[in-house]
Amino acid sequence: MKRSLMVAAAVAAFVVPAASPLAVMAQDQEASASTEAREQRRAARAEARAERRAETPPPAPRPERPARPDQPDRPQQPDAPRQERREERRDDRQERRAERRQDRPAPLIRPEVRQERREDRQERREDRRDDRQDRRQERREDRPNRPEQPQDRQERREERRDDRQERRQDRREDRQERREDRREYREFRQRFNSDSWRRDWTRRHGRDWWRHDRRWRGYNGVRIGFYFAPGYGYYNVPRTYWSQTWRVGDYLPSIFWRYRLNDWRTYGLGYPPEGTRWVLVDNHIYLIDEYDGYIIDVIYDAWSW
């Protein structure tokens, strides 16, 4: 089997190169035969075209056109100068204009028309003036009755003077009330000291006394942007109030007033005067005025986180 394959391969190696020139010669012969056939067809078409031309009869000559009849002579233009023709046309236009003016109807007498127009305008003005007066009167009648206002300057001055006196009296009363409140605040400070309270409370209960208290049950560490109030839980604090403290005499922002310390007796705090309350802000306790948030007393770091 192998020998037969080797013999076939050797024969093919000798036969294929020898057969390639024969194939090229065959292709050249086919190309030359096709070229000769094409030239023969062209020659046959040319002979057929020449035979058709020879058989076609020549075209008949065209008949000659008859000559045109002689045209009559045109009238010759007068040799008048151009300026005279212009003057004649101008005279004709003027005559036609005069005729049109005569055919027009006679116009009205202008002074009479002007007088009539003046009278019409005057009448329309008077009508509009009367209409405005009527509309004004109707609007006055439709307006609601206004309360009578004092027209005399002396009366208005007396009223303003009375108002000033009343406002001064109100300010005096407010200052008096604030003085009484401050007096009560001084009495409270005399009977309660925040520093001594924090020292005594820590010594008796320890610094971590709040860890086992039920009011701190929801506390699980410090949160950024939040405060924790015992009994209330975490609440959001605006960025402007983060880590900010206030002193006695300042005004506590109203967002902290709601976190009121109601069981102040449990903590041993002093009794808040009337109109005041204890509030929780972070781990500080503030005594504030319920009306305006004025800080009366402060206990800083009431418990340590």
pLDDT in tens, 134-154: 888 888 877 766 555 555 678
Mean of pLDDT values over 48-61: 75
How many angstroms separate the CA atoms of 164 and 70, rounded?
A: 126
The predicted pLDDT at position 1 comes to: 63
The structure's pTM equals 0.42
Mean of pLDDT values over 31-36: 79
pLDDT band at 79 (very low <50, low <70, confident <90, very high): low
DSSP class per residue in 182-209: HHHHHHHHHH--HHHHHHHHHHHH-TTG
Q: In 211-251, where does DSSP find H-type helix?
A: none
* Tokens found for residue 67: 């000559």
Q: Which of 15-19, 249-253, 259-263 is the least confident region?
A: 15-19
pLDDT tens across 225-247, in order? Answer: 999 999 899 999 999 998 899 99
Mean of pLDDT values over 187-196: 78
Mean of pLDDT values over 195-200: 82
The predicted pLDDT at position 103 comes to: 78
- Please tell me what DSSP assigns to residue 294: B
Mean of pLDDT values over 188-209: 79
Does the pLDDT at position 75 exceed 70?
A: no
Mean of pLDDT values over 96-101: 85
* Tokens found for residue 240: 């402007």
Q: In the chain, where does DSSP find H-type helix?
A: 2-55, 82-103, 110-142, 153-191, 194-205
Residue given tokens 């009375």 in the structure block:
162
Residue 295 dihedral angles phi and psi, to the nearest 5°: -85, 120
pLDDT band at 8 (very low <50, low <70, confident <90, very high): confident
The predicted pLDDT at position 180 comes to: 63
| One-letter identity of residue 181 | D
How many angstroms separate the CA atoms of 206 and 136, rounded?
A: 87
Residue 287, beta-bridge partner list: 278, 297
For residue 36, what are the CA distances in angstroms to 42, 43, 97? 10, 11, 95
Mean of pLDDT values over 8-36: 74
Does the pLDDT at position 3 exceed 90?
A: no
Sign of CA dihedral 256, 257, 258, 263: positive
How many angstroms separate the CA atoms of 172 and 165, rounded?
A: 11
Mean of pLDDT values over 78-95: 81
DSSP class per residue in 49-88: HHHHHHHSPPPPPPPPPPPPPPPPPPPPPP---HHHHHHH
Residue 281 in 3-state DSSP?
Answer: strand
Do 225 and 239 form a contact (C-beta atoms < 8 A)?
Answer: yes
Mean pLDDT of the chain: 80
Residues contacting residue 3 through CB under 8 Å, at least 6 positions apart: none
